[in-house]
Chains A and B, each alone.
Chain A
Amino acid sequence: MDSTNEIDDAKIRAYAHPERLVTTQWLADRIAAGEVGGPDGIVVLESDEDVLLYATGHIPGALKIDWHVDLNDPVTRDYVDGARFAEVMGARGIGRDTTVVIYGDKSNWWAAYALWVFSLFGHEDVRLLDGGRALWVAEGRELTRDVPTPTPAQYPVAERDDAPIRAFKDDVLAHLGKPLVDVRSPGEFSGELLHMPDYPQEGAMRGGHIPGAVSVPWARAANDDGTFRSREELEALYLGEKGLSPADDVVAYCRIGERSSHTWFVLTHLLGFEAVRNYDGSWTEWGNAVRVPIEK
């Protein structure tokens, strides 16, 4: 195994798939060693909710990826196809075997979302930066406004395989009775709020949750500094308190699918659940859909 894949951090090594997470120190060391950006090097991507944040300063060598512009189809409410994904990757110097590290604002919500989309296309080596942008900044690490010019790479046109990790509305209807995790705030779960606190209304006709869903707000998986909680703490929450098992068939959802990507990442990569799907239509679809049941 190549040295860039090893990480010397006990918390991370305890996770089911430690290769999916890197520390800020690991990344700083790789940058110092010149392993970021060069040919066959690691590619670092920033994926934010705030479209301007990358431009105000980013991790040296990092490139921007905008989930809205780069990963969503402009017309259909869906992700890009294999040809467009190949263009987005190739332009950033990413080949099929490239190690990609993604980080972002807001506790890595949009970073986890981007990582999940990469997974729909079967990109093998894609990792999150534990703690995201906020931790990098809090630690006083370097930011730059220099935008790198990557050498374009050839990325194959990979077929998107939604079935294993993505649920559509009809899949969720067929799933009723099996484990569902609602990761929104308690007020959204109870139906009192139709959007998360402090966020604009993203209108839904009704408030509540999908019948049978358990409420586990995404933030319970994170420490105050935005890093993930330890495997032990995560097991106490999802396995102990909520009674889920790694063998369960689980669907996670939120409002538009970004916070639930964070939970999908926790269940799949940190706890080793084998069958977790993210319902990206989430409450903006379910709360408006005709003839689907809700619970308050």
Chain B
Amino acid sequence: MDAAPAAAAPLPAGLQEIADDFTSAGSDLKLELLLEFSDELPGLPERYAGRLDQLERVDECQSPLFLTVEVADGDRLEDRAVSLFFDAPPEAPTTRGFAGILREGLDGLSAAEVLAVPDDAPMRFGLAEAVSPLRLRGMVAMLSRIKRQVRAKTA
């Protein structure tokens, strides 16, 4: 694919669908949708339970959030599926909601697809006026750490 301007780089289909739901919703509905993502964020699987030291802490989030990435074995980045795991406390629902969006939109995609997600993806959900631009930096930081981990684990 030719290098397109960063702002025009497409989102993966699943993430784009979520972005469309958010951008077409009014302010109150945006918060309701975000709450659904927060409620539905799955807990950590047994192998990570109580082992937050094996996850990476995202300091830019206003409440503690931990994440890690697993990448399936394979020869080509296009064939190696990425799995995402998050942990955030219930008293941080906005942070959980951001994690839920990324998990729903990216889990199961290939390493190549995750690495191609534009860095400004968190700004495409029309969330700035509902949750403030400052809080969105937490989601930007989560995405950059996810991509960095995928890069490190496929190097």
Contacts and interface: CB of A to CB of B under 8 A. Distances in A.
A134 B63 CA distance: 14
Main secondary structure of the interface of A (DSSP, over half): loop
Contact of A49 (B62, B90, B130): B62
Interface stretch (A51-59, A114-122, A177-185): A51-59
B138 interface: yes
Contact of A199 (B62, B90, B92, B130): B62
A56 B38 contact: yes
A192 interface: no
Nearest to A133: B91
Interface in B9-53: 31-32, 34-35, 38-39
Contacts of A137: 91
Contact of A200 (B38, B90, B91, B134): B134
Nearest to B57: A198
A89 B146 CA distance: 43
Contacts, number: 51
B91 A53 contact: yes
Interface in A141-178: none
B97 interface: yes
B110 interface: no
Interface in A84-111: 105
A224 interface: no
How many interface residues does chain A have, given as a range? 10 to 19
A52 B35 CA distance: 7
How many interface residues does chain B have, given as a range? 20 to 34
Given A52-B35, A55-B31, A200 B93 contact: no
Given A55-B31, A199-B62, A50 B93 contact: yes
Contacts of A134: 91
Contacts of B97: 52
Contacts of B132: 51, 68
A55 B91 CA distance: 11
B64 A52 contact: no
Nearest to B134: A200
Given A55-B31, A56-B35, A200 B92 contact: no
Interface of B: 31-32, 34-35, 38-39, 59-64, 90-95, 97, 130-132, 134-135, 137-138, 141
9 contacts: A50-B93, A52-B34, A52-B94, A53-B91, A55-B31, A68-B132, A105-B91, A134-B91, A198-B59
